[in-house]
């Protein structure tokens, strides 16, 4: 004897996660129907990176120091699945055999805290430059705090290159 039934999903989750509820309606060939709520467990496997040796804060990220592993990106949402094209450094010390997450790395700073930077303020065709001291590290296009060396006033500027920043007026 062959039983035929159909299953309809009544309610889809708003977003995918490692575990989510799903409401179903099961209808049989005889016309009877019943609703069920089930919990679905999901995995989304991607290639990830695992460190072969420990890394210290500030070290340059080197592709040779990693080996490929599989990472469930639904459970480990911060997992790095491919190395960024631009230079990155470790933003904190990372132990051996640990998978790499985006919290572990940051773009390599072009301006370092305590460094003297040339700041250019530009408004149309008029530009003024001054020297300032960077109060924090910053990579290109990041906003950092800077202290004017003459007036000691603090302001924010965008890093434009090594030892350079700009204020947009």
Q: Is the model's pLDDT at 85 over the cut of 70? A: no
Task: Please give, one letter per residue, the 3-state secondary structure of the chain.
Answer: CCCCEEEEEEECCCCCCCEEEEEEEEEECCCCEEEEEEEEECCCEEEEEEECCCECCCCECCHHHEEEEEEECCCCCCECCCCCCCCEEECCCECCCCECECCCEEECCCECCCCEEEEEEEECCEEEEEEEEECCCECCCCEEEEEECCCCCEEEEEEEECCEEEEEC
Instruction: State the average pLDDT over residues 69-91.
Output: 88
Identify the pLDDT of residue 5. 82
pTM comes to 0.67
**Per-residue pLDDT averaged across 124-148, rounded?**
94
Q: How far is Cα 28 from Cα 7, in angstroms, rounded to an integer?
A: 9
Mean of per-residue pLDDT scores for the chain = 90
């Amino acid at each position: 004897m062959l039983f035929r039934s159909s299953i309809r999903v009544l309610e889809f989750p708003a977003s995918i996660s490692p575990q989510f509820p799903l409401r179903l309606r099961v209808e049989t060939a005889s016309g009877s129907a019943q609703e069920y709520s089930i919990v679905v467990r999901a995995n989304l496997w991607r290639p990830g990176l695992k460190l072969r040796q420990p890394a210290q804060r500030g070290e340059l990220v080197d592709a040779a120091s990693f080996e490929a592993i599989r990472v469930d990106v639904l459970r480990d949402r911060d997992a790095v699945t491919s190395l960024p094209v631009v230079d990155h450094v470790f933003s904190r010390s990372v132990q051996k055999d640990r998978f790499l997450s985006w919290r572990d790395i940051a773009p390599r700073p072009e301006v370092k805290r305590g460094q003297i930077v040339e700041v250019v303020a530009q408004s149309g065709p008029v530009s003024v430059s001054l020297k300032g001291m960077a109060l924090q590290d910053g990579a290109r296009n990041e906003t950092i705090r800077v202290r004017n060396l003459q007036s000691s006033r603090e302001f924010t500027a965008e890093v434009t290159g090594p030892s350079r920043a700009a204020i947009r007026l």
